[in-house]
Amino acid sequence: MTTIDLNCDLGEGFGAWPMGNDEAMLTLATSANVACGFHAGDPDIMRRTVELAKANGVSIGAHPGYRDLHGFGRRPIPGLSAAEIENLVAYQIGALQAVAALAGHRVTHVKAHGALSNVGCADDMTARAIAAAIKAVDRSLVFVVLPNSALARAGEAAGLTMVSEVFADRAYEDDASLMSRKKPGAVLHDADAIAARVVRMVQDRAITAASGKIIKVPIDTVCIHGDTPGAVDIAKTIRAALASAGIAVAPFAGA
């Protein structure tokens, strides 16, 4: 039977301000990428997210981003050196590892967030710095990467274990990169259409760009954004569609 992981970016509230429905999403996702305080999240939210993940048998990973609370980590911060990028990534991984220890859980993977990921997908220096930070902190951590990207090349060069990710609710360009959120149609919202798309991607091991171009890629995990409106309904519809297609869901790393 084909098996796929469903990952979700969670713990992205801050203080008294929630973001999405983490409690519901953690009954549907199999892996959670937890914000580490730079683009969203704080120690209290991190611990609560980790505890909920553990209770639901969901594996957890660090979701490091640029220090950009106002922009939710979706704005590039130019001019950072490789050492500065290594430091901010290592700092955030370590923060989640410490909180996970408090909650009796363990961090299994790392997935860069937002603009840090987008820049890392295209910029070799940024990608190498992210991979170097992961390797230095704990080389057993799995690196979640976009296929055919600089992140994938850097992870391979660093000797990291990698899993390849596709996005349920994002449109793609012809080079297999994510379409900019500034473009119309970049974020998808129709739950049934998204679910059918996910089943097709998993079965075909391919993505379909907005132009209609089909691109073969390795697929180990599918991301459902927790902050997307209707995220819970989208996740439920995807789970049902996968089950109907005979595709099982399970974390790529043991929870």
Question: In terms of residue numbers, what domain contains 241?
Answer: 3-249
- CA-angle at 35, arms to 100 and 156, nearest 5°: 85
Tell whether 115 is covered by a domain.
Answer: yes
Look at the chain and report how many structural domains it folds into.
Answer: 1
Tell whether 135 is covered by a domain.
Answer: yes
Residue 86 is part of a domain; what is its CATH number? 3.20.20.370
Confidence of residue 198 (pLDDT cuts 50, 70, 90): very high
Among the listed residues 182, 105, 128, 178, the one whose alpha carbon sits nearest the alpha carbon of residue 148: 178
Whether 77 has a pLDDT exceeding 60, the answer reads: yes
Tell whether 73 is covered by a domain.
Answer: yes
DSSP bridge partners of 8: 32, 224
pLDDT of residue 255: 55
Tell whether 191 is covered by a domain.
Answer: yes
Tell whether 254 is covered by a domain.
Answer: no
Tell whether 28 is covered by a domain.
Answer: yes
Tell whether 255 is covered by a domain.
Answer: no
Average pLDDT of span 124-152: 98
Percent of the chain residues past pLDDT 90, beyond the cut: 95
pTM of the full predicted structure? 0.95
Q: What is the mean pLDDT of the chain?
A: 96
Whether 242 has a pLDDT exceeding 80, the answer reads: yes
